[in-house]
A = this chain, B = another copy of it.
Amino acid sequence: MEGDKRKPRSGVQSVEQGARILTAFASVRGPVSLTELSRAVGMPPGKVHRYLVSLGRSGLVEQQPVTGKYELGPLSLRIGLSAIGALDPIRYASEALPRLRDVIGHTILLTIWGDRGPTVIRLEESGDSITMNMRVGSVLSVLTTAIGRVFLTYLPRSTTQKLIDEERDRKDGAHSRGRIPGLDPDSISAEVRRHGLAAIDSAMLPNVVAVAAPVFDYQRALVAVVGTTGLKPLLDTRPDGPVARALLDTTASISGRLGFDAGAVPAPG
């Protein structure tokens, strides 16, 4: 509420207490007893019960008739579905790009999976002139770019297989198989999963390197990939380096706004 000038401090304290109780429901899986709730929020059971009466009347919480335990009610479902409907991955990601560019100091690309593969939908350019003719609408390789490799890793293979095959056929035409090593999709995926991001430092274009990281939504689906690219000596591509860290911090924060629960999936590595 920082933007509000009128009454910066005055609120309704019991609303915040009620919200604390709702938060406890969101943390505990399944129905909870009054005692458990009271312990979770650190309030006496009698007080928690008064709140539950009103949360129940409102439909935010429901008491199970048989067990007497409490769970989230139909209004919680409704506001949740409404909040999901309002989620806007592209806006959240776009809002984060300028700051990320300032931290990293290199051009930042926001990409989604389009008809023809990884597609640039937003570009936040830095002072460095290295954008490799990249612009909004550009389609990237799934095998040889960092961004493409993140899509390759986290999209179902049924979505990516056709493009993988096409790209490999093209490479095989231009070069004898084996001249460009490391284009096996499974090895690429394994590498990306290990670090939670893709880094290309021995690029197809000499000296052009790149790092890219995934954005997931509440259904754990990959919805976008954020990447950065630059010249080899200038852009740090180490998976534990500051560029990678800034990128991962940003994509984790966007994913968080989309309801992604990182704790619910096996950690990379």
Contact = CB atoms under 8 A, between A and B. Distances in A.
Contact of A12 (B22, B51, B72): B51
Interface string A123-149: 000000000000000000000000000
Contacts of A81: 26, 80, 84, 218, 259, 261
A19 B79 CA distance: 10
Interface residues of A, number: 62
A29 interface: yes
B63 A86 contact: no
A4 to B, nearest CB: 6
Interface string A1-27: 111101101111111111110110110
Contacts of A54: 11-13, 15-16, 19
A76 B77 contact: no
Interface string A33-54: 0000000000000000111111
A7 B53 CA distance: 8
B56 A259 contact: no
A60 interface: yes
A182 interface: no
A204 B260 CA distance: 50
A232 B31 CA distance: 44
Contacts of A59: 19
Given A15-B55, A50-B7, A57-B1, A72 B83 contact: yes
A30 B15 CA distance: 23
Given A10-B53, A55-B15, A79 B76 contact: yes
A25 B79 contact: yes
A114 to B, nearest CB: 24
A58 interface: yes
A220 B107 CA distance: 41
Contacts of A14: 12, 14-15
Contacts of A263: none
Contacts of A23: 58, 75, 78-79
A17 B15 CA distance: 9
Given A14-B15, A30-B86, A79-B80, 19 more contacts: A2-B63, A2-B65, A3-B68, A4-B53, A7-B50, A16-B54, A19-B75, A22-B75, A23-B58, A26-B82, A72-B82, A72-B83, A76-B82, A77-B84, A78-B80, A78-B259, A80-B80, A80-B83, A80-B84
